[in-house]
Amino acid sequence: MPTVERTFSTTAPRDTVVEYLADFSHAEQWDPGTERCTREDDGPVRVGSSWHNESKIAGVSTELTYTLTELTDSRIVLVGRNETATSTETITVADTTEDGAPGSTITYRNDVELSGAAKLASPVVKVLFEKLGNDTEKQLVEVLDALPASPKS
């Protein structure tokens, strides 16, 4: 099972980060592989909310349905599924203070479980996901640093 994990900091406060990342439709802005991510339900984002995600990685297109399975003030878990893979994205967010300014430290972990013939591609997928992890970290920091603080912050 390929796993990619990154820990990084942003100037955005924890509440702002959690609120933003819990709405997975924002993946279009911060995930370099996501081409489209559309919410499938209505109302406030909550455990059970789901999104249809269309991604392209190394020229290969895939579609997964993601469901928000856990949401607290410091942790988000999204599980994406299709017939060949399950992707579990776990995001933890902690308050930090750097040079007296509030911010957050984020740990982003993606566990991908391949099934059937796709399992044979695990070593290649791991290499691709490591590069994608680097690109995602860079883009996510840029997007989060540009967010205005939420009213809760």
Non-local (6+) Cβ contacts of 106 within 8 A are 7, 8, 9, 10, 17, 91, 92, 93, 94, 140, 144
Identify which has the larger pLDDT, 102 or 141: 141
Tell me the domains of the chain and their CATH numbers: 3-145 (3.30.530.20)
**Parallel, antiparallel, or unpaired: how do β-strands 50-57 and 60-71 relate?**
antiparallel
Nearest to 105 by CA among 30, 10, 16: 10
Q: What is the pLDDT of residue 103?
A: 93
Cα 105–chain centre separation: 14
pLDDT tens-digit readout, 125-149: 555 666 666 778 888 999 999 998 6
Q: Give the global pTM.
A: 0.86
pLDDT at 117: 45
Q: Which is higher by pLDDT, 71 or 83?
A: 71
User: Do the Cβ atoms of 143 and 30 come closer than 8 Å?
Assistant: yes
What average pLDDT does range 106-128 have in this prediction?
A: 68
